[in-house]
Amino acid sequence: MEISTLLGVIIAFVFLVIGMFWGGGNLEMFADPSSIVITIGGTLAGVFASYSIGDFFALPKVMGIAFKKVEYDPVSGINIIVTLANIARKEGMLALEERANEIDEVFLRKGIMLVVDGTDPELVKNIMEAELGSIESRHQKGTGMVEQIGALGPAFGMLGTLIGLIIMLGNMNDPSALGSGMAAALITTFYGSIIANVIAIPIATKLKTASGNEIMYKEILLEGILSIQAGENPRIIEEKLYSFLPRAVKEAPKKEDAEGEAEEK
């Protein structure tokens, strides 16, 4: 999703750093290697323990999705469906086979191939919905991993602070060291809260939107595939599929093809 994830995370950090200097602090006060080990190391170890090795190492790729541009443009998806529907109408279902091989989108190609093969409509629907369900549960696992980072971050932050407090309180020979010991103890809580609120929560939110977009996109494709198979009128198919889109996205194409459709005032 565009540049906003990276930019937002950076800006949030900038605001925090400004707050540190403005308040009379310096970066040194907030950088503590042992706190990093406990908070980041512990959080990652917890996530590692919670998922399979394969899922864990897919984490950078999963989180990377939140930093990428939207891939699923429903308008162009509808255009492809309408084109295919026109071909199916004029040249018959079999003519779709040739075109299907040019389709990059795996989901759409699979659906069209099932239609070309003359698969029973009910079965096409079942197969493609199972496919969608498996995509959705993959997304949920990905978002779940990022959300667990957001839950374990503050937890290991608190564990680190408890470690720091117990050490500090156990070594209270030098009361003058109390302040710096307490400050050091709080740094892991600080790190844990950053992990959750600056990194994990925004990324998880973006991933959910990205998943919603992909699922909506593929539901539109599936609706289109089934409509093509049912031999529906391409214009009706177009109108039906556009109903799935949010208004903002709908406006653009409407103006382009200038069909005099209703506009909101």
Q: Which of residues 203-232 bind a copy of itself (CB under 8 A)?
A: 203, 205-206, 209, 212
Dist. CA 51–CA 177, nearest whole Å: 41
Among 62, 80, 81, 198, binds a copy of itself (CB under 8 A): 198
Q: 110 with 134: CB under 8 angstroms? A: no
Name the phi and psi angles at 244, rounded to 5.
Answer: -75, -15
Among 75, 89, 93, 119, binds a copy of itself (CB under 8 A): 119
- Near a copy of itself in 160-179, by CB under 8 A: 160, 162-167, 169-172, 176, 178-179
Query: HSE of 203 in the Cβ direction (CA atoms, 13 Å)?
Result: 30
With contacts defined by CB under 8 A, name the span among 75-83, 86-94, 124-132, 251-259 that binds a copy of itself.
124-132
Cβ-count burial 109-144 (b if 16+ within 10 Å, e if not)? ebbbbbbbeebeeeebbeebeebbeeeeeebeebbb
Verify binding: residue 60, a copy of itself, rule CB under 8 A. Answer: no
Binding mask 10-49 for a copy of itself (x = CB under 8 A): -xx-xxx-xxx-xxxx---xx--xxx-xx--xx--xxxxx
- The nearer residue to a copy of itself, 87 or 182, going by C-beta atoms, is 182
- The nearer residue to a copy of itself, 88 or 227, going by C-beta atoms, is 227
Q: How many residues bind a copy of itself (CB under 8 A)?
A: 118
Burial of 205 (0-12, 13-18, 19+ CB in 10 A): middle
Among 190, 221, 222, 234, binds a copy of itself (CB under 8 A): 190
Among 193, 251, 253, 254, binds a copy of itself (CB under 8 A): 193
Among 72, 75, 99, 244, binds a copy of itself (CB under 8 A): 244
Among 31, 94, 123, 252, binds a copy of itself (CB under 8 A): 123
Pair of tokens at residue 91: 């040249």
- Near a copy of itself in 74-103, by CB under 8 A: none
Among 76, 97, 134, 231, binds a copy of itself (CB under 8 A): 134
Pair of tokens at residue 231: 């031999």
The per-residue DSSP string of 22-37 comes to: HTT--HHHH--HHHHI
| Smallest gap from residue 233 Cβ to a copy of itself (A) | 10
* Rg over CA atoms, the chain: 26
Distance set, CA 171 to CA 122, 168, 174, 177, 185 (Å): 72, 5, 7, 9, 14
